[in-house]
Amino acid sequence: MAKNIDPQAPARNRIGPETTIKGDIISDGNFRIDGTLEGSINTKGKVVVGEKGLIQGDVFCQNADVEGAIKGKLQVAQLLALKSTANIHGDILVDKLSIEPGANFTGSCKMGAVIKDIKNAERAASAEQSA
């Protein structure tokens, strides 16, 4: 029996272990990163960084769960959850923040509604691609 697929549902994307992507990602869908991303990610969905995952660049998203490492700026419109194995080196701009004991964070954090900033970042990313 065929599954019903909702064409409006955001895509789920994954960067697997032992995989390295070099470049920026722009998407409307959710992402799980268990490998390495050397570049920024800008998505209207959720970003999950697995325990062995690494992002070396900026992250712009709606929600994020981080178990691995991020070296760059994070702008999360809603909830950022840092798990006990998370290791963050960069500034965070977020609406809501959850940090488990054991998580490491080096940088500054600004909490409050950031939807306006994310929309500005999306416009800037679109303008860069157009150029």
Residue 22 lies in a domain: yes
Total structural domains within the chain: 1
Residue 71 lies in a domain: yes
User: How much of the chain, in percent, has pLDDT values that exceed 70?
Assistant: 77
Asked whether the predicted pLDDT for residue 107 surpasses 50, the reply is yes
Q: What is the mean pLDDT of residues 54-78?
A: 97
For tokens 């955001």, the residue is 10
For the stretch 24-40, pLDDT in tens is 999 999 999 999 999 99
**pLDDT at residue number 1:** 46
Residue 104 lies in a domain: yes
Structure-derived torsion over alpha carbons of residues 65, 67, 71, 77, reported in degrees to the nearest 10: 10
Residue 2 lies in a domain: no
Residue 66 lies in a domain: yes
The C-alpha R_g of the chain, in whole angstroms, comes to 15
| Domain carrying residue 115 | 12-130
Residue 16 lies in a domain: yes
Which uninterrupted H or E stretch holds 123? helix 115-130
Residue 19 lies in a domain: yes
Asked whether the predicted pLDDT for residue 119 surpasses 60, the reply is no
In terms of Cβ atoms closer than 10 Å to its own Cβ (0-12, 13-18, 19+), residue 3 is exposed
DSSP 72: S
**pLDDT at residue number 22:** 97
